[in-house]
Amino acid sequence: MTDSSEGTGPDPARLYLPRRKVAFAGRRGTAVSAVSSVAVIALLVSVFFWAPGGANVRATFFSFHDMWVAFRGDPSKGLLSVGSGLITNIWMFLLSEVLVLAIGLLIAVARVSRSPVLAPFRVLATLYTDVFRGIPILLVVYIIGFGLPALSLGAISSQSPAVYGVTALTISYSAYVAEVYRAGINSVPHGQILAARSLGLTYAATMRRVVLPQAVRTVIPPLLNDFISMQKDTALVSTLGAIEATRAAQIYSSTVFNFSSYVVAALLFLVLTVPLTRYTDHLIARDRSRRLAGAS
Amino acid sequence: MRLTRLTLSAALVGAALTGVVAAAPSGAASTPSLASCKTSIKSQEHQKGYLTVATDSPAYTPWFVNNKPSNGKGYESAVAYAIAGALGISKSHVKWVVEPFDASYAPGPKPFDFDINEISYTADRAKAVSFSTSYYDVQQSIVAMKGTKIVKAHSPAQLRTYQYGDQIGTTGLAFINSYIKPTKPARVYNTLDEAVAALQEHLIDALVIDTPTGQYMASAQIVDKKNKPLAVQVGQFPSVGEHYGLLFQKGSPMVGCVDAAIAQLRHNGTLAQLTKKWLGIYTSVPLIKP
């Protein structure tokens, strides 16, 4: 008797169980979800078989031969490897993530500062987040990637497209991440700041030892969310001429007139983002269970 | 009655356009005769009553002029109208639509009869779409900024050392990767204009492009405020058998008739005449080896 239909409504205690435990309760539940999952997937896949253009789509999007050649590349035909293109994506987002974490934090701290001396920085930080959250990232990529070289300023103007890409991503995402940090900082109760200051801590020490540690922990899931988004946006750097996974796939597609290379690139991006997505979910679940435990 | 008259006048205009009055011999034995095509083509049109021709936007000079395919100027625009003429379709019954290159080879029904967009024939591509026979035989050339190293130093070994760039999907790019084989991977841009911008900003040393487009670039596109050319066409590579073909929906019934029209235009000298008129004479471009 796992059903709670005998009462007037659902058992209140059941509502607090994590959803996974409810869905998989008992062997019958497992069997039902397995059958239903297989049925839904089979239905979705069957579209590729009964649709009039199904065979065409299978040949142009899911040809294993093309996927394999696109993944490996074929220098004799001028085809670049989608697999090694992904390495460019990986180092671009790793580098941008580190920079974004640092710069975003600086901007957030500047925005929440109260000292009159820091007023210009407050204004600048506000302006920065407004401007760069409002401009499409693709445009920032173009402006940096074609604008800086046009300046003819020695080293600044002679970097590789990937470096300009990292710069553009850092500029854009720092604005988003600064706002995430700021939300975290504002979520720390004001009383804690008052308490810390009354204990004799300076403003800087209060920030560093009391506010930020709590704020950062709160915002880790939304931060990771932004990072997943950034991993995908490394593909925009292809517009500057950098050969990353998307661009290698595009070259394959336009040379051979087959789209399977895009599917390979999509799968590779999934391999990158899914672990981070799962980890974010895990953190959110852990955080939630902690809070529920605290509440009871 | 009305239909007959229309067809007849269309045929007359077509004949006048191409300067051919009576039965010209058709090319290959397998292609249908042009005379029968003039009736059969009507039932094969994507939009009845019109020959729908596609190209990308911006459409580049000297293939088109002023990004306006319907003005009949530029080699590809002129060829499209000449083909229509050979098939008995009047100028006013040719309709132009914009088809981005990337979309032109996507599966599914195509919103045009054929696409004329400097698309090179390859066997791999012919698996996804149908091509007409060649309407232009292509050679690739190198364009660089004046005074840069590559202008003087371009032996096969030296050519490998430069930073190249090109538009995505071009055979120029394929040529770089499969014949020049540079030590640094070529940079790949979405449009030719971006590749040109990169060349002007010295982000790339050179770009590889078909000779007519390259000549236009070096003589009229990359110029200073007084229209003095800033770039130079370093040289052209020997032919590797590349040619441009019109792109059709895979298995389009129209290919045979269009091939017959192209064969006639080749035979009666129209193609050569249009090449001379719009693409200039390239005897001045030196030959270099990849």
What is the Cα–Cα distance from A262 to A78, expressed in whole angstroms? Answer: 17
Alpha helices in A135-259 (DSSP H): 137-150, 161-187, 190-198, 203-206, 212-233, 245-256
pLDDT of residue B1: 37
Q: Are residues B131 and B56 in the same domain?
A: yes
If asked whether residues B172 and B209 sit together in one domain, one would say yes
Q: Which residue has the higher pLDDT, B267 or B7?
A: B267
Is B264 part of any domain? yes
**Same domain for B118 and B222?**
no
Per-residue pLDDT, A11: 65
Q: Tell me what pLDDT residue A53 has.
A: 80
Q: Which chain A residues touch B204 with a CB distance below 8 Å?
A: 241
Q: What does residue A84 show for φ and ψ, rounded to 5 degrees? A: -75, -20
pLDDT of residue A277: 86
More confident site: A9 or B280:
B280
Which chain A residues have a beta carbon less than 8 Å from that of B181? 75
Say if residue B232 is in the same domain as residue B262: no
Check pLDDT > 60 for residue A163.
Answer: yes
Residue B8 domain boundaries: 2-137+242-279
Q: pLDDT for B86-142, tens place per residue? A: 999 999 999 999 998 888 988 888 999 999 999 999 888 998 999 999 999 888 999
- Token look-up 């130079």 returns B232
My answer on whether B17 and B89 are in the same domain is yes
B125 touches chain A (CB under 8 A): yes
Give Cα B132 distance to the centre of its chain.
Answer: 12
Is B201 in Cβ contact with A146 (below 8 Å)? yes
> In CATH, which superfamily holds the domain spanning A70-295?
MetI-like (1.10.3720.10)
Q: Average pLDDT in the B67-82 region? A: 93
Which residues of chain A does B203 touch, with a Cβ-Cβ cutoff of 8 Å? 149, 161, 241
Taking CB atoms and an 8 Å cutoff, what residues of chain A touch B108? 53, 56
Q: Which residue out of A76, A158, A251, A263 would a mutagenesis test of the B interface target, given it has the greatest number of B Cβ atoms within 10 Å?
A: A251
pLDDT confidence of residue A13: 62
A4 pLDDT above the threshold of 60: no
Closest CA to B53 of B271, B248, B263, B287: B248
pLDDT band at residue A295 under the 50/70/90 scheme: low
State whether A78 and B201 contact (CB < 8 Å).
Answer: no
Lowest-confidence range among A146-155, A225-234, B96-105, B126-135? A146-155
Residue A20 has pLDDT above 80, yes or no: no
Ranges of beta strands (E only) in chain B are: 51-55, 94-98, 114-115, 130-131, 136-137, 140-145, 164-167, 187-189, 206-210, 231-236, 243-244, 247-248
Query: Residues B224, B270: one domain?
Result: no
Instruction: Count residue pairs from A and B with Cβ separation < 8 A.
Output: 94
Neighbours of A205 (CB within 10 A): 13
Domain ranges (residues) in chain A: 70-295
Quick: pLDDT tens for B226-241.
888 899 999 889 888 8
Query: How many Å lie between the alpha carbon of B81 and the closest alpha carbon of chain A?
Result: 27
- pLDDT of B8 strictly over 60: no
Kindly state whether residue B290 falls inside one of the protein's structural domains: no
What ipTM describes this predicted complex? Answer: 0.72
Residue B287 counted as domain residue: no
Average pLDDT over residues A156-166: 88
B249 in the same domain as B107: yes
Q: What percent of chain B has pLDDT over 70?
A: 88
| Interval A146-162 mean pLDDT | 83
- Number of domains composing chain B: 2
Report the mean per-residue pLDDT for chain A. 87
Query: Is the model's pLDDT at A199 over the cut of 90?
Result: yes
pLDDT of A268 > 60? The answer is yes
d(CA B178, CA B174): 6
Using DSSP's 3-state secondary structure scheme, residue B55 falls into strand
Q: Is residue B117 located within the same domain as residue B194?
A: no
> By the 8 A CB rule, do A248 and A261 touch?
yes
The predicted-structure confidence for B190-202, as pLDDT tens digits, reads as follows 888 889 999 998 8
Task: Give the closest-approach CA distance of B222 to chain A in angstroms.
Answer: 15
Nearest to B128 among A77, A247, A258 (CB): A258
Does one domain contain both B93 and B189? Answer: no
Residue B178 domain-assigned (yes or no): yes
Q: Which token pair is A105?
A: 């934090």
The CATH number given to whatever domain includes residue B62 is 3.40.190.10
In this model, does residue A126 exceed pLDDT 80?
A: yes
Q: Is the peptide bond before A275 cis (omega within 30 degrees of 0)?
A: no
Q: For B47-77, give one letter per residue: b (16+ CB within 10 A) or e.
A: eeeebbbbbbeebbbbbbbeeebeebbbbbb
Asked if B108 has any chain A CB less than 8 Å from its own CB, the reply is: yes
Is residue B285 in a domain? no
Distances (CA, A) of A235 to A111, A165, B285: 31, 9, 38
